Each structure stands twice: as structure tokens, then as C-alpha cells.
Structure 1
């Protein structure tokens, strides 16, 4: 049998401190109310009731102190604020016992003048409770938690001017005026960290000895080492934790906190893939197909976005977006979330969505009925890196408005593509790292509106690509050719032209 260590038990019980600390606070407030009622009303609260409440306050305050000490052993807190909070908490517990003593009949019968200490001690304990709670809040949420959100209604109420807010000249209402000139970390990545991560990883609270509010400390990492590796998404620890199920203890942000959205996850992955630079602009990085529409949505003025970013906006898709469909049922959204998927809105002006299962690599054919849960509303579908096979394509074929389909790194074969012939609005198809061959691409001819296809790491040959291009001249085919393959293809074209001339 394996027994838990003392440290493990202390850590376990320490987690109950935020819960336990509310008991003495509640009783102390109740006692103050009792004393006010006794002073201003005829119906008196019995002294015995107040004495019992004081005893419960003293016991619970002492217990909260002990649990708080256990919690502090985990580390990751600002030592100065932690020391103040501990001293104030212990002081409040001692004063609570003093209040009980100076209110008990037995003690007053021995020392009658002790009753004169009761009200001053009660007033002081109430003030100390507020200060102690404030420092506890600072440890948990950070020192600027109450003041960081502006405008501040309290300042208006007491007729004080609002704090001056520095506005980045490149941004207006969270829109980046010139997306190409925006700094990737400062303007795009850092706001995500600030909103979703810094609450637990700041100067006041350093969970896991990690701070994310300063670049040098972010690069240093925490007690488990560095949290990201440039150009390596798979080995970047903070991304691994984001992708864990929310029920897992190591999932970040913790359950109950505001979670990383699918778009934010794409941004963070892109930043890592492009070298995790802290000083480069958007225009200096390669803009992948996934990041392009996100960058567009962040731009305040689409006319300032580079052609490279804009080129992925398709004609059919824009036409569909101009129409509208009914809202996705909330029950359907919950079903998708339950299995680790996400339904994300594509525009605030309509109800079209992106359906993605990127966070659930175990998604398989058994789960495929969920693919067509909202057939009219689903405009983008991402099944990358899942376990689906050709069987799931019957569900995909039901998405009549689908314009973008990601099937990269799945187990689909040539047989799957023949099932997709009904997707007449499909404009983008990613088949990277699948077993698709030249025979399979023949079925794509039925997709009249297909504009772009990715065939990297497939069995499709250069000859197969050429045959596909002849039948679909407007189709852009990305096959990841090396320089040698490109030269071979050029020679092949020259030879073909020579043969044609010879035959004539």
C-alpha cells in the first residue's frame, strides 16, 4: 500500500484555506450586526448567542490560519505580501479569542473591567479583517485586481477624475490599425497572457514560481523549467497544459477561470512556430493559412492588411456569409464541448460557425455523428490530427455550406474523396500527411469551386498534380516541392512540349 506523505496531506488541506477563511469573516460581520441591533433596537440579541458566535469566530479563524500556513508551503507567492497577510491573520485569530474572553460571563466575573476592552477590540478586529482580506485578495488575484478595469465607477461616485489610460497609437478599441506593423508579442500575444495567465503568474502570485508579466522571467520559466521552446510546439510546456482536458489538475488556465479560445490557441502556436520572437512585426513572419483570417479580424482597417493576408478570402465564402441561418442550439454547443470540441462564431453579423476537434486527438468514427450536428451553420470544419477514417466522410458530406475542410494527419484514403463530391461550396481542402494518391485526386474534379488544396506528404505524384491542374486550371495546389522536384517538373514539361512538336 502506498501512503501519502505529510507534505502531500498538508498541501491537500491547504487548498481549503480560501473556503475556510470565509467562516470567521461571516461570523465577525454577524457579531457587528448583533451589537448594532442591541444598541439601536429594543429587542436585544441574547448575550449567550453573541458569546457562542465569538467562540465560533475564534476557532474558525485559528483553523483558517493553520490551513493558510499549509497553503503557503506550496510557494509561488510574493514573500512580502505573504508575510504581512500571515501576521495579520494570526493577529486576527488572537484578537478573536480576546473578544470571546472579554464577553464571557465567567471571565467577566473574575475581572469586571475587561468589558471595557470588548468594543474597542471588536472595532479593531473588523478593520483588521478588511486589511487581511485585502492582502489575501492581492495574493490570489494580484495587486491591481480592483483597479485594473477602467472606467472605475467608485472614482465617479466620489467625483474623482478617471485615471489616465495610455492608448497605443496602433490600436483603437482593441483593433490594430496596421496589422503588418504590429509587434507580434507586444500587440497580439502579450494581451492573451495578460488576460488569461498573469492572474496566477505575476509579481504578487507566482504559481509554480513562474512569472509571465515580464519577458525575461517568462523566458526563464518556473520550477519545472522553461515553458516554451522556439519553433517547437510539441515541446512547449504551456501549450501542452492548455490542451489538457479542463478536468485535469495541470490544465491551464485552471477550471473555472476564463479559458484560452481556439483563435488564441492558434495565435500562440503560430508565435512558437515562427520562433517565439519578442521584437518582430507581423510582416516579418510567415502568415499561415490558419492565422491569416485571425489577423484580418484583428485589423481595424482591412485596407491596411497585406495582400498575403487577404488572399485567403474566397468568393463563395463571402457570398454565403452575406446570407444568414438560424442560431446553433445551445444544447448542441454543450454536446460538442463535452467531447472536447468547440463551436466558434465566424462573424458577429451572422450565425455561421467553425467546428473544430483539434483539442481531442482521440475523436474517431464513433463520434462522427457530431460532425453534422449543425449542418447549415458549419462553414469551416477542422478534423486535423484526429482518428477519423473514410467512414466519417458520410457525415462531412451533409455540411452543404462547408467552404473549408481540414483533414490533415488523419487516416482517410482515396475512397473518402468520392464521398465529398456534394460539397459544391468547398473552396479549401487540406489533405497533408494522408494516404491520398493520384487516383483519389480524380474525384476532386467534381468540386467545381475548389480554389486551394494542400497535398504535402501524400502519395500524389508530380504527374498527378499536373493532370489535376489540367482539369482544374484555377486550382492552387500546394505540394511542398523541393528545388530538385521543381526542376524535374520543369524538365518534364519541356519534354512533353518537345514530344508534341515531334508528333506534329
Structure 2
């Protein structure tokens, strides 16, 4: 009975295999003339999911034909198992081929060489697998074995053409196919040797002649010009409105972003290259050599086609002790190696109010490893250069906009390895710069925005022939340019009683006009900023830079907030979540506003838990308001709190509710805003406060509806 059932099942399987062969042949010959229902299209899209199953079965079944077991009973069992395995492989191959033929009927697949060869290859594999099953017991064993080998070869060839359809031409063999990358710059074409390789590597796997997603193929220039279903791919000369650039710059999570998430993305250099190619007219025959020497596209081409061959410098000193380097770091000075496990060190200084020359002397224990010092905008004095001269390994020294006058530059000329020196923004003179003639390794000298005249700079270049003198921009043609915005020297946006606002501009002769009433500043009616501006209350300052012969800068806005009382401590009962931990509780009273960027390390973020902060004052203080700095960015799931509670009293055990407010619910079109939420209450003496903020629930119109929103807080003000 078991033998009869096995034979009947094999006969049924053999008949099914024959029927599927006929169906495949009809489906292939009929092509698009057969109307396919939607549910069969779904089956066709499962082709990539199931194609690996018959591959494995065919290889295993073919391999078993070459194996002969000594034990007769075991060998009979192996023969029966092999028959079933090959039958299953042949039927699953037929199903896979049917799925592939259905998939090929969809839009985006064209009957080019790759897909036609892939179709024929799939049918040939099916015929090979069917022959392998029907010839498995042939009396001459070489025939089924030959059929097995031929089927495996057909599998490889068919897979190669399938990969070409899915991923672009020569996808499988690309890693071992020689590429002619050594194209001389003078013989290179912008499209052929720069643009096309980018498209081949990052785009053509979905936009080729065999798989033209969205009706777009990128293999030929005429196809690029034709575009796809959504229109022209690019507008020559105008990358800003070109579809290609728009799709490249969409957020990665956007479904229209190209390349799609999970695919290799373009580098910044590759995006820039496409941008400048389109901006230059998107010509397909332009030689790189015909571009101007300082053209952006030519500079990118030079870097890509002829990478600079730079000999890595050799440092003949041992690395400093890691623990010593860590000890030399503080809030205002950072010392770090130029690369992981490298011996040379770099030092940067921050916050000029905390700087003195002692902070340089403290680095003398690593003077044999320190090759770069960046002291720009620090109050370095002429006498301090004797200390700097002790760092004999220095290669780069930045003294731009420091307090040196140039009288002691001779000290720096003794540095044996100094190759780059920046003196921009200092009042150095021609005579003082002549003392650098004896500097043995100097190659770069930055002197822009100094008191040197054009004639002085020419004289410096003439006397320091081995040095490149960087003088910055000179408007020789009288072209009217736009000024950049004024900058602020104050580091804190929150003050206690009053503060002196200091604004500056790097261009000499610039006037800064400002307003404090919220109106737009102009050069005629707005007051001119002098040395400083006294601020005693919450104030928003708007300012522009103006100078005759220049266009005024864009306005810049600074906001300053007064807090009458500074707490002794703030402790968080619930810790911030995710990456938004900033500096813990101290973030709320450090005087730093977070602005619009929630990733800058100045915001505390909560989503699943409430923000609960205990605030303690050194002695009782009379308060009538607490102002909370918050962020709203509905697109990034950041909403105002659902509820805020302010509690106050003598200690944590004796608190009473001073204020409870419910901020307005977020709306779909709310702009990104950093705002202050004012919580006012009757004047109350408090020594301790508890501030609670509950995250909102995302509304029904939001993509994350039903989930907890984020609450972001940057500062607390007590008045």
C-alpha cells in the first residue's frame, strides 16, 4: 500500500511538472497578450523571495547523483530521497519561473538583452531540472550526471543576468572587472569619467534598461535627457529646481529620497559633482581640461581623477602618556591626538575670559608631541611668544585676532618645524614680518585683515619667496558684495541683574545698527552699536552690518533672559531619555539656550516619563514666576508639555501647588520654535520648588498618533 501511494504521488508530481512546463511555455510566448489578475501580480512579486529555494534543491539533488553508498539498503533509500528532492526542485523551479514571468510584465521592466536572457535562462534551468528528474534512473549514469552539471551552469548564467536586471550591468563580476580609473586629467570628459561612474554605482541598479523604475533609465545620455514618469531628471543650468537634486536632498526617511534607504548613498563630494555638472549646463562632451582653473567642477575633478599624492609626515618622537593627556583637558582647553593611536597632539583653547598664558605653560610636559596650537581670539600678548617658542615640534600656530602686535615675532622664527602661521586680525607691520625670513620651515603666512597695505603684502611675498602669503579677499574690480552678519562675544544668554552686550564684525569700518523693540534694523533710523549695550531686562536684539560700498548683511537676532535668583542645586527625579541628556540637572541653569537644534547637547528630552526637577535655593527667595525654555518641532515629534505644575515651599515635604497650566495643543502647521513658557503665580517665599512637565500624546493627524511626544527643556528662569 505504501509503495502504491509513493508511486501514485510520484506520477502525480511528474504530471504536475509536465503541466507547469507547458504553462511556462505558453506564458512566455503569449507575453503581454494575456491579462493577469491582481492576485497573480502579488505572486509575481514574490519571485525574489522564493528563487533561492529551488537553487538549493537543484544543487543538493545533483550532488547526490554523484554519491554512491556501499550499504545496499542505504543506497536504495538515497535513490528514493534523491528522486523526491529532484522532483521538488523541478516543480519549485517551475513555480519560480512562472513568478518571474509575471513580475517581468510589470512597469519598469523592459525587454532589453538582460531580461530576455534571464527569461530564457530561467526556462532553460526548468528544462534542465525536468530532464534531470526524468533521466534520474537512466541506465547510463553519465547522462543524469551531465544533466546535473549543465543545470548548475545554467543556474549561474541565469543568476548573472538576473543580477544585471536588479542591480545593473555586470553587478556580479564588477569587483574583478578591471576599471580604467587612471584617466589623465587633460583627457578626461566630465560626464564620461566623473558623472557616469557615480550613476553606474549608485543609481543604475534601479534605473537601467532592464529595470527602469519610474520609467527612468540612466544608461544613455538620451535616456537621462528624456527623464521618467515624473518629468525631466534635471534642468541644465539650474540644479536648484532639478528633480535629481531635489530627490538627493530629501530626508533619508522620505520614501521619495534617492537612493532609497538601505541602498548605498552618494557622498557629499558626489552630490556636489552632480550639482556643478548640472549648473554648468549638463553637457555630455565637455572636457575637464576646458574648465577654468578655479572652477568648482574642475577642482572636484582634479581631486577625483588625480588624488593628491602626499607623503605622510614622519614624526620621530614617542607618544605622550594617555593619562597625562587626559589630565591636560578641561572645560576651556582640549588636547587630542591628530589620529587614533597617533603620537602628534593638537591643542585648542576656548572662552577667552578664562585664558592666561599659564594654560599654555601647563602643556610643556607634552611639548615634544604638540604639533598644532589654535589660539585664535585668545588674549595672547607679545611677551607670551617666548613661552610658545619652547614648543619646538610646532607645525601649525594660529594667533589670529589675538592681542599680539608683532614686536616679538623673532621668537617664533626659531621654531625649526613651523610651517603655518596665522597672524590675521593683528596689527603686525612689514618690518616685523621681515623677522620671519629666518624661519627655516615656514610655508604659509596668513595676514588678512591686518594693517598691511597691498604694497606691503607684495613686499612680504617678495622677501619671503618660499612662503605663500594669504591676504584674503581683495575687491580689485570694485564689485559690491554682501557683508556677513555681526557676531556676539557674550557666551551666555541668561544673566542675573544686568549684562553688557558686545557685538563685533571682522571687516574694518563696519557699522552695526540694532533695534531692541522687535522692529527690523536699517542703516538710516536704527542706532549705531558702540562699544557695548547695557541690558537689564528680557531683551531681543536685532542687528545688521553696514558699510559704504557693500550690501548690508542679513539681520541677526539674539535673545537675552533675566533671572533674578540662582538656585543652589537642581536634581532630576527622572533621568532624561535617549541621547538628550545634556549635562543633567545643571543644564537647566547653565545660562545656555538650546536654539532650534535639538541635537546640540543643550536640551533635556523626555518622552515616556515626566520631567520632575527639585530646585533648592540657599535661602528663602520671593518668587512670582518661573519661565521654562521649551522647544516645539511637530515634525520631529517634539511638542509642548501636556501639563506643567509648579510647586513651592520650605522643603520637599512641605510643598504647595503654585501654578498648573496646560499649554496649547500642537497643530499640524505649527512652525519650529524655541519659546519661553511663563508660569506666573502670587508672590511666594520659597526655599524649595518642584517642577513637573508631562509629555503630550501625539494627535490623530500626526504620523506617530497615539504615542508619547517628546518634551524638550533648556533653561529655567526664576523671577
Provide the TM-score with structure 1 as the length reference: 0.49
Q: Which protein has greater RCO, CA pairs closer than 8 Å, 6+ apart? A: 1
TM-score of the aligned structures, taking structure 2 as reference length: 0.36
Higher Cα radius of gyration: 2
